[in-house]
Amino acid sequence: MENPYRAPEAPLETENPAYTPGIGWKLFFFFLLPIEIWSYYDQFTEGAPDNPLWWLCISAVIYTIYLTGLFGLAFAKKIGTSGFWIKFLPVLICADIYEFYDVFTTAELEAPELISVLLVVVPLMMLIWWSVYKYSKVMDGFVKKP
């Protein structure tokens, strides 16, 4: 007869494997942070005549939230929930697409200039979106340092 008070044998495995961030995410964070600060400083002080103030404020809030998440990914800090970040991703994508469309419809660029800008901006946007998705998936597996 089996002992009813003894717990069954079960391996202790976590659903999400442990995650430790690489140096690349830290470099990306410290690359993007000054660019964003300078960009918003320039837009608010010099003024962007084609962008209304309400859009600059909303965009600043969206990218502040994004940089907070990138900080969490780069330094293994759990900020918010994975559900929040997966719901924030479409907001970020829509804001980026709107700004992308707004810039390229108002700017008068020649074809070579447009292609060179696209070759830089599109991979950067994809990396930004991927970092939010990755953060939403790995944040439950952060290792706590003793």
In percent, how much of the chain has pLDDT > 70?
87
pTM (2 d.p.): 0.80
Q: What is the mean pLDDT of residues 58-77?
A: 93
Give the model confidence (pLDDT) of 135-146 as tens digits.
998 887 775 555
Residue type, 80: G
Distance CA 108, CA 5 (A): 77
**Residue 17's pLDDT is what?**
63
Distance CA 58, CA 88 (A): 14
Strand partners, 142: 19
Give the model confidence (pLDDT) of 26-47 as tens digits.
999 999 999 999 988 888 888 6
| Mean pLDDT for all residues in the chain | 85
Indicate the helix (H) or strand (E) that contains 115: helix 111-138
Please name the residue that has the structure tokens 């952060």: 142
Strand partners, 19: 142
**In the chain, helix, strand, coil percent, each to 5?**
70, 0, 30
Give the model confidence (pLDDT) of 75-104 as tens digits.
988 898 889 999 999 999 999 999 888 877
Are the beta carbons of 139 and 72 closer than 8 angstroms?
yes
Sequence ranges of the domains in the chain: 23-138
Residue type, 121: V
Residue type, 92: L
**Residue 116's pLDDT is what?**
87
